[in-house]
Amino acid sequence: MHASPSHLVFATNFSETCHAAIPTVAQLVDRLRAKLTLLHVHAKGQRHQAQQSLDSFFAEASNYPGCERALYGGPTVAGIAAYCRANPDAVLIMPPSERTGLPRPMHVSLRAQVLQRVATPMLTLPYADALPRDGSIGGHVACWITSRESGLELVRDAAGLARRRGADLHLLHVLPEVSEGLLMDSLFNDEPLAEPAATRWLTDIAASLQDEDLRIRIHVGTGDPRKQIARLLKRARADVLVVEHDAVLRRKLGRTSFDAALSESPCLLMCVPRRRDGIALPANLPPKTMPGFKFLPQRMKRLSFSTQV
């Protein structure tokens, strides 16, 4: 992820949440001096109407140098993924789905589907009533580190963003509650099990940045990640949260959804892809596990699931 992206892609379906996001997108374009593309994917047979809607949406954007309005036909996820693959250096901007006020047990998150198809950083916005005041300087950038494997690269991305904003950098980590399964899992990895160990680990990561001018604060919690991350974000007074693609997705009832605790967060979410050998990869959810085997460590859970009859 680039701390100062040069190309922003605003994916829109012309909903109320998309219209509410226009002022925030405009601030980002002005501050970053980035190229803006307004992207819409229409259903079959609706190109003419879609073109008219796209031309009238965010009319002021036409004043930005190099602004483009891209129209794709076909399935929404496939269209967004195709554009992102053709523009690998862009940052994708996607507002949340509209609130209905009613439970939506069969709702499928568009953002979750896109994250599983693209290796593009995604900036996703909170609901209109929680849009933050996105000042050009200062503020608080938080980084949620979920594992040693990706911790350092993720922190470097967040540190670059914090430097550009003149913001404090907050490193967040949530420890699971201690259980027999967790203790067994520790035999296979070197993840910290207690808050003092996690604090030392985050302190070492902060020191590796070698930036004396960057103000870095560390926050560690223990318990349910969804509840704890909301508490830590509030403590950090975060304006932006940098997090990996994988950490914002949840699998429930056979469907993949965007994490509810994060979607209700009042801060901007910068979802960055995990990397392997320097190559960005789409989101990858952990494998399913058999009911009744939650006490087992992750490696044994995968084994028990793959060998069931």
Please report where in the chains the tokens 């503020």 appear, as a residue: 139
Could you tell me the domains of the chain?
Answer: 7-124 (3.40.50.620), 140-304 (3.40.50.620)
Of 260, 265, 205, the residue nearest 237 (C-alpha): 265
What confidence score (pLDDT) does residue 202 get? Answer: 94
What confidence score (pLDDT) does residue 302 get? Answer: 46
The percent of the chain in helix, strand and coil, each rounded to the nearest 5, is: 40, 25, 40
3-state secondary structure of 180: helix
3-state secondary structure of 247: helix
Name the token pair of 296.
């087992």
Decide: 10 and 36 in contact? Cβ < 8 Å: yes
What confidence score (pLDDT) does residue 80 get? Answer: 96
What confidence score (pLDDT) does residue 96 get? Answer: 80
Amino acid at 150: S
Q: The whole model's pTM is what?
A: 0.80
Of 92, 128, 136, 140, the residue nearest 245 (C-alpha): 92
3-state secondary structure of 51: helix
Longest dimension (CA), the chain: 62
Q: How many residues does the chain have?
A: 309
Strands (E), 150-261: 168-175, 216-222, 240-244, 249-252, 255-258
Strand pairing category for 122-124 and 216-222: unpaired
Gap between the Cα atoms of 302 and 293, Å rounded: 10
Gap between the Cα atoms of 28 and 119, Å rounded: 21
For residue 280, the surrounding DSSP H or E stretch is: strand 279-281
Calculate the dihedral angle through the C-alpha atoms of 146, 279, 211, 149, rounding to the nearest 10 degrees. Answer: 30
What confidence score (pLDDT) does residue 262 get? Answer: 79
pLDDT averaged per 10 residues, the chain (length 309): 79 93 91 94 94 97 95 96 94 80 60 90 74 60 86 89 91 80 50 83 93 94 88 92 87 73 80 79 60 48 41
Angle between helices 148-165 and 195-208 (to 10 degrees): 60
Calculate the dihedral angle through the C-alpha atoms of 50, 51, 52, 56, rounding to the nearest 10 degrees. Answer: 100
